Structure 1
Amino acid sequence: MTDEQAPPGVDPTVPSVARMYDYYLGGKDNFRADRDAAEQIVRLARDSGADVREMARANRGFLIRTVHHLAASGVRQFLDIGTGLPTQDNVHQVARRVAPDAKVVYVDNDPIVLTHAQALLAGSPGTYVLDGDVRRPADILRDAAAHLDFGRPVAIVLAAVLHFLPDDAEVAAIVATLRGALVPGGHLVISHSYVEPDEGRPERMGEAQDVYRRSASGSIAWRDRDTVRGWLDGLELLEPGVVPVQHWRDDAPHPAPGLDKGGVLGAVGRLRG
């Protein structure tokens, strides 16, 4: 995608985390500024022994497996917040391979994400795209209620989005609001970047934060397992608990180079009846 193709209201010189993530996954829906910023992150991670592209692929695999599992468990409604640019095996595609009647609401605030998602989902009944910001969860729940029945189980997906919010108290409040919308049988799916406590690499992390500060998100944060587990208080934590995403119910595990000291944590909580 060239800078000349930027839709109105989009500054192609400001990196977008959604388009950077698209680049990590090998996508083409990104501008030069996105690619340059993403390559800086790739280099910083590599200098620390990590692989950002592998992290992105592992996170995507986690999302696919969780949605498949929840659909197979009877969940028929999904709210995907911070969905990012469409790629292969989007939430509605995975869910509908198991449950053709599944309803999915996608939420994002990136104009290019919204444009691409609306084009992809045109003529796809039961699938909706909303312009919304994770920082305003009550607004998201209100708007999503036009399409989902929150009196029945909903799976709320927060995949690789909360780590772009640096304020711990704000994130806890966001998750609490969304968790409060669940009824028995509802689920909360979370993935979030982390590093092991003894692998802080403060210099590299500081440089990575500088890159993300220049992006539209404005920040990135790393949090630990206890923090992620705390967001799921009051929910039944599905096995294997809070683990690196590549270890969450992968029936065909493969070596994950560059993910042994950090990467992305994943967890799924269920509200019991």
Structure 2
Amino acid sequence: MMPTPVSSRIGATAAVVFLVVPLVALLMRVPWLRVPEILVDPAVSGALGLSLRTAVVSTMIAALLGVPCAWWLAARTGPLREAVRVVVSVPLVLPPVVAGVALLYALGRGSFLGDVLSHAGVSIAYTTSAVVLAQTFVALPFIITTVDAALTAHGHRGEEVAATLGFTPRRAFFLITLPTIRPALLTALALGFARALGEFGATLTVAGAIAGRTQTLPVAINALLGYDIDAALTAAALMLVIACLILGLLRTPALTGGVR
């Protein structure tokens, strides 16, 4: 363990306190005796179920789109790759409500895609599909950037050797590269799932807050704050517990490759 100056220890302590105090304050306000009753309330359990289902679907879609994109990025050089990396990173810094507005004007009524889909009898805005799209939009960059970084660090030596043995690029990628970067891939999926599960702004904007259809748990918390603070606090604590479980999962040897 490296020695650190006193100023570093003071800064670290201040940072941890700053982050921990609000979380402790939340947990202290939770009506623990009412938690079982609140968790079975349809306003909470239904929103949680919808959040979990849509987050799983969103993560799967993000993985199907993100892993090939990361593969392409890691295999390329030049300005085009850097431009794509910038585009991919935009949702990471974009306010979620702006992402929701963008999706709404891309897929809602009056938009080109929205009108095309409407003529085909498909409606996206303010449906469960809109929830999935909003979650995928915010989760996809996490998967792309994480896998891209792992592939770039991994290099192409394995694929080059496999090519001399007659492997096609696709076969080499699935049989050699993906198993090698498995910890990074699992981390990317966990981060994407967590981001999708916690999405609020884009979901509320493009999908609304229709109970049973588009009201995910973060959206439900926002609604519950107006009329049932105990339920809102319990749901918020539940989201905190889920986040901690995901972070704990990210520290397991299966995801870290045995490095702790």
TM over 0.5: no
Which has the larger helix fraction? 2
Which has the larger strand fraction? 1
Higher relative contact order (CA 8 A, sep 6+): 2
| TM-score, scaled relative to structure 1 | 0.25
| TM-score, scaled relative to structure 2 | 0.26
